[in-house]
Amino acid sequence: MTVQSREFAFGLPWEALYGYSQAVQAGDTLYISGQVSHDSAGAFVGAGDFELQVKTTLDNLDRVLEHFGARRDQIVETTVLVKDLREHFDAVARLHAAYCGDHRPTSTVMGVTDLALPDQLVEIGAVVRLDLTH
């Protein structure tokens, strides 16, 4: 059996520089790279403002979902990387729960020493099942 795949990128310079896609669909599974807090032109958003970074990162996750015609309730797993996790755990937990609503995907949250961009405090990736119905 052959599985078709397709990729998606925002067209930002670092995608080619690092050699990755924002998402790859393989069959009915969508693998979304860690999303970052940036605007549509690629400018970083929210230096020093953790909550704004999380909200903008989740907005970018929504942009990827929209491209594939996916919904939040089709997310089966999130991976959340947080710089200074002890300081930001309550905020990221609250914002993640609000984003997911009544849907409860699996999730791993990890404290990290550093992330790719100098002012970056959070990165959120996801796995989505496009054939999941509720």
pLDDT in tens, 27-80: 999 999 999 999 999 999 999 999 999 999 999 999 999 999 999 999 999 999
What single-letter amino acid sits at 94? R
Residue 134 domain-assigned (yes or no) = no
* Ranges of H-type helices in 10-84: 13-18, 50-67
pTM as predicted? 0.95
Residue 66 domain-assigned (yes or no) = yes
Q: What pLDDT score does 57 carry?
A: 98
**Number of domains the chain is built from:** 1
Domain that holds residue 69: 5-129
> Which range among 12-16, 54-58, 106-110 shows the weakest confidence by mean pLDDT?
12-16
Residue 77 domain-assigned (yes or no) = yes
Residue 61 domain-assigned (yes or no) = yes
Residue 32 domain-assigned (yes or no) = yes
Above 90 in pLDDT, residue 5?
A: no
Q: 99: domain CATH number? A: 3.30.1330.40
Kindly report the number of other CB atoms within 10 A of residue 118's CB atom: 8
Residue 60 domain-assigned (yes or no) = yes
